Structures are given as C-alpha cells and as structure tokens.
Structure 1
Amino acid sequence: MNQHTAQVHVALIGYGFAGRTFHAPLIQSVPGLSLALVASRDAGKVRADLPDMEVIGEPLQAATDPRIGLVVIASPNHTHAPLARAALTAGKHVVVDKPFTLDLREARELVTLARRQDRVLSVFQNRRWDSDFLAVREAIDAGLIGEVVHFESRIERFRPQVRARWREQAGPGSGLWWDLGPHLVDQALQLFGLPDTVHASLTAQRTGATTDDWAHVVLGFGTRRAILHAGMLAAGSVARFIVHGSKGSAVKQRPDPQEAQLLAGVRPGAARWGLDDDALQLHDGSGIQLRPAPRGDQARYYLLLRDAVLGIGDNPVPPAQALAVMAVLEAAAASAAQGRTLAPALTEEERAAFGE
C-alpha cells in the first residue's frame, strides 16, 4: 500500500462503546481505509471526536450508500443481521462486530448471501491480536508447555452496579455471554480447533440484573478441557490465562493494554502502542521463567481486512470461523438452559471449512 493506492470508503454504523473506542480509531489508523461517514442518532457525540465527519441518523441509509465500499456494523446485536443483509444486497463488503448474529440460522443466511454476492463478510475478532493471547499462543506453538490438558481464559471485572445500557438489560443478544463469550470462544477455537462438547452455566448475580452477568463454560476436546469464564463481581486479582500441559504451566496475569490505551487516546503507531510489560510466567515444577509478551496490535485486523477487500489477501476472520463461534455460543446458551452437555450444531461441510 502507498499514498497512490485507491481508498476504500468506509461507513461505520453505531458510535457506542465499540464503534467509538475500537472501530473508528483502528479504521483511521490503516492506510487505504477512509472513514467516510458514521451512522448515529447522536451527531454531537460523533463530532466531538471527529469534527468534520459526515453523520447520518438512519443506519439503513449508511448500509446502502452508493459511495461506500465497506460497511462496519457496530450497532446493537439484534440489528447485525438485517443491516448486514441490506449492505451485502447492495454490493458492499461487510464487517460485523461480535456477536455475528443472534443465532446460527441468521449467520448461515448471511454467509450464503455473501458468497452469492462475491463480497467479503468478516466478524471483528480484534482480540486475536491482544498481547496476552499472543503470548500464550506462542508458548503453546513453541511446545514450551507440552501437550495442553487444561486451559483457562477469564475476563472478569468488578462492576457491582447494573448500568443502563442495552448490553446489561434483558433483550435479544444481551447479557455477558453474548458480549464477552465471542472473544473467549474465538481464541479457544484458534488454539485448539472445534470442540467435541460444550457444557455451560449462566446466571445473573448482581442486584437488579435482568440478564446473565456470570458465565462458566467448559469446552471438551477429547481429554483436554478449556474453561471460559466471565463475571462482573471479581474485585480481586485473577489471571487472564492459565494453561497446564505435560511439560509445565503458563500463566498470563494481566490483560492486554490496548483497550485502556484507546480509552486514554493512545492510537496505533504511538511509541507504546500495544506494549505489555506483564511477562508470561512459565512454570516447570522446579522454578519460574519469564517470557516477554509480544506486542499487541488490534489494527492488524483492519490491515488484513483491507487487503481482503482489495483482493490481495485473505479474510482475517472468514465466514467458516464465524459460523463455528456462533455454533459454540448457541450450544452454550442451550446447555445452560437445558442443564446438559451438547455438541456444536455444525454440518460436516462447515466443520471441514473451518480447517481450511
């Protein structure tokens, strides 16, 4: 890419937490992507950050605008499928924030439509490029832990008050599992492939909670177990990752710093962008070695996405991987409701496509 390369004009639908914190700054950091308009009902909020930005109040108008090549959907979860369908039908490439859709049926319909339209359809799994996950992945790939038998991935916070936002109120696609589960599931599938079994427990623990704010999900991969956990009442120190294997254990205590950096106004390309001073701890039964965490860079998602749109690279999160995540999310929700262990409802063709 250079300054002479044609720009991909981008419409961002939604300027809530995800759109404002992640999508807008990451898109603007990538040469070849031009954030051309934002769909939001709060133009003042957008222009406080982006003074010259074109803002429109109607999401459907943004999804089908003839000037736009790429539509990024960061609106409430129940709007993902209809807006993606409209954008794909209008011939746009589409990025959908997680979760992809509300169910596997909707996800399959969009994948079929994208294939028919010959458009790139991708889900925003930015946390594949987090320093904590990269540290764990590198250690596993290098054989430093041996054969992994136990994997824990935890995102826990201390937010005892239920906030007045759609993610924490009862409704389609709300709740902590649909909010943080997509990250936890996607990372586990990137490491270990498709699980054989899913067993989940979801509940609402905080006073006044009307949807789940605690999730504990166990994925079975033969004899290996992956524990995915999220909660809103964890005030003490908890490790982000714990991995046990035949040669030892790995512990990553603190999470990747990029979300905090973005909230503080730090942008990709800054001197300390993505730098993580919390080393991975490697335990071998006789001592501890420290392994520096790789630098995180969530902007890599949009760099790769740009190349996919231009036809010179692969989709960083292809539809087959998005469908697999949806199948596990859906299986976990059903497992929690039914109180039994389930298998992800993927076809043989979908399972084969995941490994391509």
Structure 2
Amino acid sequence: MQAISTAICSFGMSGRVFHAPFISLHPGFQLHSVWERSKKEAAQFYPRVKSADTLEDLLADDAVELVIVNTPNYTHFEYAKKALEAGKHVVVEKPFTTTTAEADELNALAKEKGLVLAVYHNRRWDSDLLTVKQVLQQGLLGEVVEASISFDRFKEELSPKVHKEQPHPGTGVLYDLGSHLIDSALLLFGMPEKVFADIRIVRPISQVDDYYEVLLYYPNNLRVRLHSSYLVREAGAGFILHGAKGSFLKSRADIQEADLLAGKKPEGAGWGREPEGAQALLHTEKDGMVIREEIPILQGNYMGFFDGLQAAIRNGAPAPVPGTEAARVIRIIEAAHQSSREGRVVAL
C-alpha cells in the first residue's frame, strides 16, 4: 500500500517532537515536506524532506496528500480551511479551533469534499487514560458518581513561545491543557448537560488564564471536575474516580512526552511503558470481597493515532479523533468561559 505523503506546517516543538518522529517511523506515511518560514532545520533530522517557504507552496505540491496543521491556535481554522480547499486530508493540533462556528465550518467542508479531518488529541493514547478507560469498561467501580481529572504544572516563568502568552483567541491554559482534559471526560463519560467554571490568572506576570476549575454536570447525578494550574509544585493524582462499589486513583505518569523531548524514538517493546512505582490504586468490592490493590498499567503509544489515521485515509475507517468529536471540546470551552464571566451554570 502506498505511503501517505505528508506535510507539516511547522517544525517547532510540536512538529519536531509530536509529529515528525511518528510520521517518519510509520510504514504507512512518508514525511514529504515542512513549511519553514525562516530557519531551515528539518533537513538536519530528515535529509530527504522538502522545505516550503510558504503555505501556498506547500499546498500547491500535488504529491502532498495529508497536511498537519500544528501552528499557533488562532491560525488553525485559516490554515486547515486552505488545506481542505486544496484537496488535502488534514490533521489539526489541539485545540481544534478557537470557536465552535469555525469547527463546524471545517467539518462541513471536509464532508463536502470527502476528505479526512482529524484532530490530534494524542493523550487518548496515554497510559493513564487507557488504564482508567479499562477500569470503567470492566465495571470495577459500579456506577460512577464523581470523577476528578487534573493536569497541573509548576511554571513561574512564561513560555518562550510568545504566541502562547499573548491574549490572542485560543490562548490560555483551558485551551491548552484543558483541551486534553475535556476530551478525556468526553471519551470516558460522553457529553455533559451543563457546565460551571472558574477561570483566572494566578501568576502576576501572566496575560492569559493559567488556572481553571471546570465542573461538568451529567445525568444520573454524575459530576466530573477538571482542573489545571501552573502553580502546583506537588501534583496529586491525575485521575480520581468514585463509584457505588469503590474508588480508583491514578497518578499522571505517562512518559511519552518526556521521552520524545529527550530525543528518543517512539519504537521498541518498551515504548510508552510507565516506570516502576507509578501508582494505580483500586479500592473496591469484587466477588463479594473488598479489595485494595495496585493494578497493572496499560502501555501508552501515540502511534495508535497514526494507525487510525492511515486506516481512515486508505480504507475509509472512521478518523481516530474526528473533527465532529473535537468540536464538542471547543463547545465546552466556550461554555466554560461564559460561565466564568457570568458566574453561573451554563446549559449545553
């Protein structure tokens, strides 16, 4: 089967760390070209790659089948639309867009042209989330009544990526880390009915939100709390679930991002395996007995996204993260900002 000729719209950290290594190693893809505005660095890592000076040059190349839009958030809609209009399949980095209206327009355009439009919510393939998903699928907790998902960091300094720290559309921690957590909640529990949020700035030097607490209201009395802050030096469990039969706590310990940043290649039997000592505690009732034990942690692998992407483009399978699913993330982000501004629960 012919490899999918792929172009990446940026070779910063996202392109160099989260996309190019997988595209170059996956037998179903070929890294064809990179849009490099000034620095020409991609060829140092991938000698055969072409360098495009402009987006127009990249899109005019008939050899390119797939375009990965991994540029600043506020450009996602414009660049993805141009790529779809040029007849290319498209992957958009999270967050998908800055508004639901933009997401809906891109989804409609992709459907009209018969093209695959996927969003890179790679953390669906984290060891953490995969393990939580399995616990729920096995019914080990009974009916879940509350869940907390958090992703905290300690970053007194601002990001060196200037575009992430300026109040453009789509900036701030809710669009950044929050996109991952909202997608995780949707994957585990589906679409909520209502949203309440507290979004604020906790670092005096920041111009964009760097803290949020979002509460998702579900039927059957389920509540899901989402939280991120850049002033948490000692993070707690990333996932806490309580159900009618028991509880489950899982530390956020997926190692793929750290390994990719260290220059490791996403290959080999050990890729995505958490180190010894990562915590996954199950305290529940099973076969009439109360148990409290650590359980095995599943192996993570972002390559699963690219496996699904190849199947979607070549075999017509569903996209690994369809734009229609990613649009729901943006809808919740918009509702959360409205809730925080108005100090009330917002119905979806």
Q: Shorter-chain-normalised TM-score: which range?
A: over 0.9
The correspondence for 2:292, drawn from 265, 288, 292, is 288
The farther-off stretch of 50-59 and 326-335 is: 50-59
- The one-letter code matched in structure 1 to 2:97 is T
The farther-off stretch of 182-191 and 325-334 is: 325-334
The answer to whether 1:250 aligns with 2:248 is yes
Partner in structure 2 of residue 274 of structure 1: 272
Distance between the aligned counterparts of 1:263 and 1:211, measured in 2? 25
Distance between the aligned counterparts of 1:42 and 1:295, measured in 2? 38
The farther-off stretch of 174-183 and 12-21 is: 12-21
**Cα deviation per residue 1:62-86 (whole Å; 9 max; x = unaligned)?**
2343210001100011111111111
**Cα deviation per residue 1:114-144 (whole Å; 9 max; x = unaligned)?**
1110101111111111000011110011011
- The one-letter code matched in structure 2 to 1:235 is R
The answer to whether 1:343 aligns with 2:347 is yes
Distance between the aligned counterparts of 1:339 and 1:305, measured in 2? 40
Whether the 8 Å contact between 1:281 and 1:288 is mirrored in structure 2 is: yes
The answer to whether 1:216 aligns with 2:213 is yes
Distance between the aligned counterparts of 2:97 and 2:110, measured in 1? 14
The correspondence for 2:32, drawn from 32, 36, 43, is 36
Distance 1:173 1:64, change over 3 A: farther
The answer to whether 1:68 aligns with 2:72 is no
2:41 partner SS: helix
Q: Structure 1: 5+ residue runs without aligned partners?
A: 345-356
Partner in structure 2 of residue 233 of structure 1: 231
Distance 1:64 1:337, change over 3 A: farther
Partner in structure 1 of residue 194 of structure 2: 197
Distance between the aligned counterparts of 1:48 and 1:336, measured in 2? 46
The correspondence for 1:179, drawn from 159, 176, 196, is 176
Matches within 5 A, 1:1-356: 5-165=1-161, 166-222=163-219, 223-277=221-275, 278-284=278-284, 288-344=292-348
| TM-score scaled by length of structure 1 | 0.92
**Cα deviation per residue 1:247-272 (whole Å; 9 max; x = unaligned)?**
11111113211101111122222242
Q: How many residues align?
A: 340
Distance between the aligned counterparts of 2:171 and 2:43, measured in 1? 28
The farther-off stretch of 38-47 and 223-232 is: 38-47
1:145 partner SS: coil
The farther-off stretch of 70-79 and 272-281 is: 272-281
Which aligned runs of 4 or more in structure 1 are off by greater than 4 angstroms?
Answer: none
Over the matched positions of the two proteins, sequence identity in percent amounts to 38
- The one-letter code matched in structure 2 to 1:114 is A
| CA displacement at 1:180 relative to structure 2 | 1.1
Distance between the aligned counterparts of 2:251 and 2:107, measured in 1? 37
Whether the 8 Å contact between 2:211 and 2:229 is mirrored in structure 1 is: yes
